[in-house]
Chain A
């Protein structure tokens, strides 16, 4: 069966450290993978998109890697801040999926302590 797995346990880190979140998928061949941030009571907010032919993508303090062999994406936040505390979701669209139906992992909650 097709799965997108993220660590369901909360990740607690100290301010200033690098947070690394993992997204693993099985039985998909995605054309691209996306990362979103969700705060309580709000809708997900798009952060980054990485395509299957890209190894790494950066945006300010964020970095995403995409290994199609390992079927894994890593999401890094450098110099983390308490304001980065939120739930982070990875999502993908299968390569030949009609309707662009983005499928989400269960999310990982990040807590950055001052």
Chain B
């Protein structure tokens, strides 16, 4: 069983469209995250979310919004897509601060905006 699964794996779309990326974890973790990895391979935190609070990295445009229907899911919605949004997006989860097992990442969604 895949611990953190993302769909789709690849997403090609036109500028201006709205798209969603889904993420599910079956680890029973309390906190889920979205990261963006750009062409230079830097991983940047976008959101941290548990059932109590949403933490947003201040550099993330408000066109990006996480939606969590339940503890096991954290979907990423992107409105009015721009060329600069092209990147690989990773979902991750953890059981809390100081988790000795670290974060568990999904395999990524490669978004290409044309």
Interface residues of A: mostly helix, strand, loop or mixed?
strand
A48 to B99 Cα, complex, angstroms: 11
**Contacts between the two chains (Cβ within 8 Å), count:** 68
Chain B residues whose CB sits within 8 angstroms of the CB of A101 once the complex forms? 33, 45, 48, 55, 57
Neighbouring B residues of A98 by C-beta, 8 Å: 53, 55
Q: List, in ascending order, chain A residues with CB within 8 A of B31's CB.
A: 99-100
- Which residues in window 23-79 of A have CB below 8 A to B? 31-32, 34, 36, 41-47, 49, 51
Interface string of B33-53 (1 = CB under 8 A from A): 101000011111100100001
Partner-B contacts on A (CB < 8 A): 31-32, 34, 36, 41-47, 49, 51, 87, 89, 93, 98-104, 106-107
Q: List 19 A-B contacts (CB under 8 A).
A: A31-B98, A34-B102, A34-B103, A36-B103, A43-B105, A43-B106, A43-B107, A45-B105, A46-B101, A47-B102, A49-B100, A49-B102, A93-B97, A99-B31, A100-B96, A102-B45, A104-B35, A104-B42, A104-B44
Interface residues of B (CB under 8 A from A): 4, 31, 33, 35, 40-45, 48, 53, 55, 57, 90, 92, 94, 96-108
